[in-house]
Structure 1
């Protein structure tokens, strides 16, 4: 399909009917995405798919520099931290406008009321909006922000102060993450008055460079340029379109035909061909991620350490690395990538040993032919290019030690929801770091507070929890690192997960794409991106 056909399809939907055809085509940027978001109220969700869908719509007080992990000002132009490290005062950006969209027209610019509303809704279970539209906020809870933030108060029309119960060394990084997107308090009031509070999830209003135009589940998301964006240099296309397709081979075909200009998560087997295409470019970098197997430690028999140890040592990781990652992965022995500061280089894997695994299972009283469910992701993720194949290989590995694994899957949003509810036995998942801090791995994924959100192993260990909480409350990096190393050792000993691989990130795009930067945090940010002739 050429640009003219793409423009024609857009015209048929009535979105670009007033633009000349050539002009319309030159102002569209199409991103081949892999899945449908669960919604646009991003504080409710944790997956990369959801974050990608929300990214064009919102801003945070602080944000990550494009292509990096450094925190820069966004809706807050500057901030101060009190001497005791417990109070953060943010000075807000003047003249920022919320979208006029979905029949809502703001009567004022962004101000301190919007920041207070955004965080109070997450903090206060009795908040009027939360009572009208009940929601859970997994990131907010898994990082213990719901317990540590004691107050968010407006200290001036354009000034907000956060008071913490204890020092949080990662606080500025944490609120740069997607879940902390600032919402409109005025829009929330409007939705309450009209009896439609759930529209905040389906008809979002933000301050971002693009506003939502249309969403068709499993087909497309269409965004229109925000002509009033506070940084006009970041809005360079008229229409941003996410073309949703779960099949990576189809996404690659669309890219090569210029039906999309950027695609997500190519199969390793396609990379050689993509590199040779003169119309394309492929940006590659070491992945800040880990793909892992999580055992539901709240379910028998995975509540027994010898069972988890047996399953772990029965996994032929090298075979999986060769077949699933095809040269684009690095063997993982730890719960976070080697590029993360505080990574413990002394940790080693248990050797691949099916015979020993079988002995451990027999000693634990596990009968030959015991059935378990193995959940495999329905979508390709940066940390796992082919979950179905990985599940089939694990099924064969565990069959050798007498465990019969039945592979199950669900649509991605349903999959994530059911895992949070603890319905699985064993699940394939992974993580791409969000903010450059060790707590985003060791606290967010394995703390007791993260059960019901990001802790797929449903694992809670008091000693481990004390270590990561103490580390988060310190500001000295070496002191923090020592505690995190102890936590990593304990995590390895207790085997709530089996780390499998760190995947190299390969980002294919049209050679005409200008301004797109691959994020180590797995964020796909289209602000400032355009197409050049």
Structure 2
């Protein structure tokens, strides 16, 4: 299969990587991690294919800051995984290319009962999974039952699989009183009904999320718990291979349901950890699209011939989280003091240029239900010290501060954010020790509560406030995305009421109450809402960066002379 051509590109890439290593020091991926990672996929997808246009004119290389955690989309929540799975899998519904407006997906139409308890979806016909098996209503039911029932044969819970976002978005799991999907009825091959226990305001928004996309039941049977490294969907691209901490290769699905799509023959998602190194790779022509750009580089990219700058919509929050189960962070006065100590405006001014706003609430200001009456804590060292003294910590204390190892859309430079936070806290007598982990262990260990302070963030995946509040701070999400281990019965009740409310105005008022309580309780420091940046070579056409940061690539093509 064109071995000579691949070998030629492999030699060029080796020389380029050695040059990057000499220029950027220790910025590359951990070589031991690459050696220890399992190689997934078939023999056609080898690292010899690395490099823009290595296998033809329509090969696109998308460089990102970190590797995927898993390609079993429903079991993960990190953006680096969903960036890939978005192009392998499809959900019953989808979002508009530039917003969170719900549009058809694998379901071309749907009906909602007057009482809001029954949703019937009419499925596209003659759709096949990448393994050639048919997509139908029974496949939909199997997928949802797999996520809902921990004892389902395809749940793989004994092998460590969990589906926290399913539990968050649909009220728990089979057997839980709070699980809101009462039953799923296959009416015929292309018609399926979901019956709810109670109305759910964001139900359709949730059904469009890429976390609830369709996997081939035959693949679940074939691969079992290895499905996370052998994804089989109905999307525009099918999986070829995965070299851990290096690259994931997808290729065109010739039998894709949308005529004439995809336009690309191959997509390579390549890991280049440092923002500056990714920009060098783009300028050199090694890659075609990059995400995670330092805002200070935006002006240069925008004015540079041959490059295009893309700005995503404001749809995230970057924050300093606190494990409220650990002393002294279990004391509200301490948490409030930390909010006064951290200079969020200085962080935003120093690191985001004009591509961010200072965060006050958890949700971005453009979301419905945003509480404009809440005022920022502001940077007030004296007030922070007063609160610490009132809490009995006038002599200060010591905490670990966990810093994520990858650039994220809401925090392109987490190391510098950590340094500023460390300096701010030192001013009020709090000493912090920086803790670093690789990306997957970082998520796993903070999910288990091994941390005290931690930097992280959240990008909206469905355009609804519920996704922020329910995922991050509902008591039922502890052990999932609630890494603050925060539980407040009043907050939980308000979030549940908002989720069950159909009237958007009523939902907005409930979320405003949630924000007022959270501001007082201070389970974290809301730092920033960014407008993340991406860049591409000018030859890349029809690339529309989605606010969710999971970009559909089916219409993208590379212009050739």
TM-score normalised to structure 2 length: 0.88
Deviation at 1:286, TM superposition (A): 4.1
Name the residue aligned to 1:194: none
**Residues 494-513 of structure 1: matches in 2 within 5 Å?**
494-513=521-540
Aligned residue number for residue 425 of structure 2: 398
The residue that corresponds to 1:47 in the other structure is 78
Give me the whole-angstrom Cα distance separating, in 2, the residues matched to 1:307 and 1:397.
14
Pair 1:358-2:389 in alignment = no
1:41 and 1:496 map into 2 onto residues whose CA distance is 30
Cross-structure match for 2:412: 385
| Residue deviations 1:493-516 (CA, integer Å, cap 9, x gap) | 110111111112222111111111
How far apart are residue 221 of structure 1 and its match? 0.8
Q: Which whole-Å deviations, capped at 9, do the CAs of 1:139-173 have from their partners, x for residues lacking one?
A: 11222253111222312122211111111110111
Secondary structure at the aligned position of 2:472 is classed as coil
Deviation at 1:76, TM superposition (A): 1.0
Provide the C-alpha distance between the structure 2 equivalents of 1:290 and 1:381, rounded to a whole number of angstroms. 11
Q: Deviations over 1:285-339 (max 9, x none)?
A: 4421111111111111111100100111011112211222233221111111111
Query: For the residues of structure 1 that align with 2:7 and 2:506, how far apart are their CA atoms?
Result: 57
Among candidates 158, 169, 183, match of residue 190 of structure 2: 158
- Determine which of 334, 340, 347 is the counterpart of 2:374: 347
Is structure 2 residue 349 aligned with structure 1 residue 322?
yes
Write the distance in 2 (CA, Å) between the matches of 1:440 and 1:347.
21
Question: Hey, what does 2:245 align to over in structure 1?
Answer: 218
Task: Tell me which residue corresponds to 2:138.
Answer: 113
Q: What pairs with 1:84-123 in structure 2 (closer than 5 Å)?
A: 84-100=115-131, 106=132, 108-123=133-148
Superposed CA deviations along residues 18-51 of structure 1, whole A, max 9, x for unmatched, are: 9xx9894412111011111111111110011110
Number of paired residues? Answer: 517
Question: Quick one: which of 214, 225, 241 aligns to 2:268?
Answer: 241
Instruction: Specify which of 52, 57, 65 is matched with residue 88 of structure 2.
Output: 57
1:138 aligns with 2:164: yes
1:7 Cα deviation after fit: 9.1
Query: Using the alignment, how far apart are the partners of 1:482 and 1:472 within structure 2?
Result: 12
Q: Is the 8 A contact 1:33 1:263 kept in 2?
A: yes
Cα deviation 1:249-297 (Å, max 9, x = unaligned): 1100111112111101111122122112110111224421111111111
CA distance in 2, matches of 1:431, 1:137: 17
Structure 2 spans left out of the alignment, 5+ residues: 13-42, 174-178
Preserved CA contact (<8 Å) 1:29 1:261: yes
Q: Mark the runs of 5 or more structure 1 residues left unpaired by the alignment.
A: 101-105, 192-196
Q: Which of 317, 332, 347 lines up with 1:305 in the alignment?
A: 332
CA distance in 2, matches of 1:117, 1:507: 37
SS in 2 for 1:507: strand
Partner of 1:182: 214
Q: Is the 8 A contact 1:64 1:71 kept in 2?
A: yes
Describe how 1:253-272 pairs up with structure 2 within 5 A: 253-272=280-299
Residue of structure 2 in register with 1:432 after alignment: 459
Match of 2:302 in 1: 275
Name 1:9's counterpart in structure 2.
Answer: 9
Shift of residue 367, structure 1, vs aligned partner: 5.7
Between the aligned partners of 1:7 and 1:166, the Cα distance in structure 2 is: 59
Superposed CA RMSD: 2.2
Equivalent position to 2:111, from 72, 80, 87: 80
CA spacing shift, 1:511–1:22, aligned 2, 3 Å:
closer
Structure 2 SS opposite 1:233:
coil
